[in-house]
């Protein structure tokens, strides 16, 4: 594997009727890195995640994970192979407790998500450890729907961690967070990567992305318009042009 990449997309393309949301995207994510994906609203970032995680089938192109073609696989199979994601619109089971939300993800990974399962004490313990890791241990028994957005985003990450992935895709984890919460999120993402998980991060909060990512790919109208270090992309004329032409310039 090494230099050829943990996750590779080749000419990955998605059409919605007449709209090409993702347009021949070649992306290589290397093991151990934090790889940012940025671009104006509607650039195709979430659609790209949906293609990688099996929520959408590509119109054209390939997705390869650990050297194996995965495009066309259903989402649960892709989870088993080692890719977990969070959603731009958080989707916890609002009636279940924070701990139960993590246990459901755990059950999904280890028992195939088939029917209800009664977790062993050791599994509850493990789920609590994950909640400690993300700073939600003291909220474990609250209904997930009662958490403020910053905590719900952490719960999304906790659920993804319970899936024990090799690759984690985070869709706007910093959206709606205060500056202080973003500081904590930065540390959390770094710890996740130190724990051996590779991270791809879609994000609009630029200081966060620039701070944390080793490499950034920039999408605009579904196409890759730039890729490089945070420094390189921040000074790329095509990137500046894309952002000036959109409402994101104001962010
Ligand atoms: N299921 C769908 N059906 C039709 N069009 C869609 C669908 N999903 C996304 N689109 C369109 O595809 C384009 C890319 O959308 P996408 O959500 O991937 O953008 P994004 O980069 O994630 O934007 P944002 O930063 O606002 O989250 C947009 O024009 C969007 O309206
Ligand atoms: Mg999006």
Looking from the CA of 241 toward its CB, the CA atoms found within 13 Å total 7
Which atom, in ligand 1's list, is nearest to the CA of 48? 18
Relative orientation angle of helices 179-194 and 121-134, to the nearest 10 degrees: 130
Name the average pLDDT for the chain. Answer: 92
Distance, in Å, from the CA atom of 168 to the CA atom of 31, rounded to the nearest integer, reads 11
CA pair distance 37, 197, nearest whole angstrom: 17
Q: Give mean pLDDT, residues 147-169.
A: 95
**Long-range contact list for 109-113, CB < 8 A, 24+ apart?**
109/79, 109/80, 109/162, 109/163, 109/164, 113/76
Residue range 91-107: average pLDDT? 90
Give, in degrees to the nearest 5, the angle at Cα 188 between 161 and 86: 45
Question: Which is it for strands 34-38 and 167-171: parallel, antiparallel or unpaired?
Answer: unpaired
∠ CA 59-233-226 to the nearest 5 degrees? 30
Find the ligand nearest to 51 CA. Answer: 1
Q: Determine the pLDDT at residue 211.
A: 95
CA of 222 to the centre of ligand 1 (A): 9
Q: Is the CB of 88 under 6 A from ligand 1?
A: yes
Are residues 22 and 39 in contact, defined by beta-carbon separation less than 8 angstroms?
A: no
- With CA atoms as reference, report the closest residue to 217 among 249, 197, 242, 192: 242
Q: Is the CB of 25 under 6 A from ligand 1?
A: no
Pocket probe for ligand 1: among 25, 38, 45, the residue whose CB has the most ligand atoms within 8 Å is 45
Distance of alpha carbon 190 from alpha carbon 206, whole angstroms: 17
Helix (H, G, I), strand (E, B) or coil at 53: coil
Cα(140)–Cα(96) distance, integer angstroms: 10
Q: Is residue 85 within a helix (H) or strand (E), and if so which, with residue range?
A: strand 83-85
* pLDDT value of position 245: 76
**CA–CA distance, 241 with 232 (Å, rounded to integer):** 14
> Which atom of ligand 1 lies nearest, measured to the CA of 50?
18
Q: Which atom of ligand 1 is nearest to the CA of 14?
A: 12
User: pLDDT per residue over 108-127, tens digit each?
Assistant: 777 765 555 667 788 889 99
* Cα first-last separation, the chain: 38
Domains of the chain, each with CATH number or no CATH: 2-250 (3.40.50.300)
Q: 42 CB less than 6 Å from ligand 1?
A: yes
Q: Measured in angstroms, how far is the CA atom of residue 222 from the centroid of ligand 2?
A: 12
Q: What number is the average pLDDT over the span 192-206?
A: 96
Instruction: Report the DSSP pairing between strands 215-220 and 223-228.
Output: antiparallel
Q: What pLDDT shows up at residue 2?
A: 46
Residue found by looking up tokens 């952490």 in the block: 154
* pLDDT value for 243: 87
Q: What is the mean pLDDT of residues 80-85?
A: 95
């Amino acid at each position: 594997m090494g230099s050829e990449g943990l996750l590779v997309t080749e000419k990955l393309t998605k059409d919605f009727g007449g709209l090409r949301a993702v347009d021949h995207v070649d992306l290589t994510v290397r093991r151990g890195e934090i790889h940012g994906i940025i671009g104006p609203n509607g650039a195709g970032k979430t659609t790209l995640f949906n293609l990688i995680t099996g929520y959408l089938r590509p119109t054209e192109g390939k997705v390869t994970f650990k050297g194996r073609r995965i495009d066309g696989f259903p989402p649960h199979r892709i989870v088993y192979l080692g890719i977990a994601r969070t959603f731009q619109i958080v989707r916890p089971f609002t009636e279940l407790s924070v701990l139960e939300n993590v246990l459901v993800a755990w059950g999904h990974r280890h028992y195939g998500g088939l029917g209800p399962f009664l977790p062993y004490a050791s599994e509850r313990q493990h789920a609590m450890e994950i909640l400690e890791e993300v700073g939600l241990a003291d909220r474990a028994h609250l209904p997930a729907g009662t958490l403020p957005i910053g905590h719900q985003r952490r719960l999304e990450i906790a659920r993804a961690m319970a899936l024990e992935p090799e690759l984690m895709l985070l869709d706007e984890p910093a959206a709606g967070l205060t500056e202080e919460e973003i500081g904590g999120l930065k540390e959390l993402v770094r710890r996740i990567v130190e724990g051996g998980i590779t991270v791809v991060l879609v994000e609009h909060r630029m200081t966060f992305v620039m701070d944390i990512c080793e490499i950034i790919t920039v999408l605009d109208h579904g196409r890759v318009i730039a890729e490089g270090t945070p420094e390189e992309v921040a000074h790329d004329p095509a990137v500046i042009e894309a952002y000036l032409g959109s409402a994101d310039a104001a962010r």
